[in-house]
Structure 1
């Protein structure tokens, strides 16, 4: 079992990278987001690896972070999501964006990924909503509030403030992040007008 590769980039393909480790080149399949950030041929690279062993093949999948690898496996626990679709989702959304989308039950964002239709997006949101907070990464601070918004149980001032900000053209995730920051600044008892004002201040930074 290969858990990590440390070597030099030999070649970058459309969906994979060849990593030269002391003269042996390993093929690691990656998301397009990872391939775009990995560097260029001749540069050093470290990839977290998920190894798939089948009767007729051995396949390596590479990730720039352990969290991305965790999401790759988590996504495949959903019916209808295989390795190709999981990489497609991770090509479209970062781990924190994915956690936010699931918390907010934002099926539209998830369905932008190649191979993900409305039904699969619904299953991802439904089946992973209780698991997402543990893998939220940078988004973990406001994930609870986003879950409340997604489930329709957020306090009225919070829901109203998020709605007002989205009506101004901000995405639901941007609005939720701004209101989460506004709650810290304004306190739990802040009314919607104050949350909107503080949220807009946060968004203008």
Structure 2
């Protein structure tokens, strides 16, 4: 299993790149977001990879971060989501926005990706809402009541969104409280959830 490649970007295409590792060129399929993040021809880059093997095909899928690769694995675990659709979703939606969409049950956002209809988007949201919390690895104490008092309904809604992602109430309260402290009491719900997810992924 090839988990990671480091080398010079030899060429790039619409949905792939060739990375030269000590004279060996690896053809790696990737999302538009990954291709943009990795750089241009002749740059050196690290590509995190996932190998897909079928009866008549074997391919490497590349990602700029481990987080993106973990999301790809989750997405392709859903019935009806193959490698092509998984990459299309990650091209259209950033991991943090995807977590927010799944946590809030926003199937319409998932359906923005090419090749994802309303029915498949709903299946993705329903199947992953109990799994995505494991990606963040939240920890810490409980600040549930203090956070609610500090920021009213936005804090409560933010904690509810994190709870829907699989976080424990105490962990959600602690993380949202930190976000409130950093952003201030007038922060929007979207800003609170985004910062909480960003902190959780560190």
Do these two structures clear the TM 0.5 threshold for a shared fold by scoring above it? yes
Stretches of structure 1 lacking an aligned partner (at least 5 in a row): 142-156, 163-179, 186-194
Retained in 2: the 8 A contact 1:181–1:199? no
Task: Note closer, same or farther for the CA distance 1:184–1:79 as it changes in structure 2 (3 Å cut).
Answer: same
Report the number of matched residues. Answer: 158
Q: What is the rounded CA distance, in whole Å, between the counterparts of 2:33 and 2:177 in structure 1? A: 28
Retained in 1: the 8 A contact 2:180–2:187? no
Stretches of structure 2 lacking an aligned partner (at least 5 in a row): 140-151, 158-175, 192-202
Retained in 2: the 8 A contact 1:95–1:135? no
1:158 lines up with 2:153 in the alignment: yes
Q: What is the rounded CA distance, in whole Å, between the counterparts of 1:8 and 1:182 in structure 2? A: 40
Q: What is the rounded CA distance, in whole Å, between the counterparts of 1:41 and 1:160 in structure 2? A: 45
Q: What is the rounded CA distance, in whole Å, between the counterparts of 1:160 and 1:24 in structure 2? A: 51
The within-5 A match list for 1:120-131 is 120-131=120-131
Q: What is the rounded CA distance, in whole Å, between the counterparts of 1:183 and 1:6 in structure 2? A: 35
Runs in 1 of length 4+ with deviation above 3 angstroms?
159-162, 180-185
Shift of 1:161: 8.8
Q: Which residue number corresponds to residue 33 of structure 1?
A: 33
**Which residue among 169, 175, 187 is the counterpart of 1:199?**
187
Q: What is the rounded CA distance, in whole Å, between the counterparts of 1:62 and 1:80 in structure 2? A: 21
The within-5 A match list for 1:1-205 is 1-136=1-136, 158=153, 180=176, 184-185=180-181, 198-199=186-187
Deviations 1:109-168 (A, max 9, x none): 11101111100110011000000112248xx69xxxxxxxxxxxxxxx527997xxxxxx
Retained in 1: the 8 A contact 2:20–2:26? yes
Shift of 1:54: 2.3
What TM-score results when the alignment is normalised by the length of structure 1?
Answer: 0.69
Q: CA RMSD in A?
A: 2.6
User: SS in structure 2 opposite 1:35?
Assistant: helix
Retained in 2: the 8 A contact 1:100–1:136? no
Task: Note closer, same or farther for the CA distance 1:6–1:181 as it changes in structure 2 (3 Å cut).
Answer: same
Task: Note closer, same or farther for the CA distance 1:183–1:92 as it changes in structure 2 (3 Å cut).
Answer: closer
Look at both structures and tell me which one has the larger radius of gyration over its CA atoms.
1
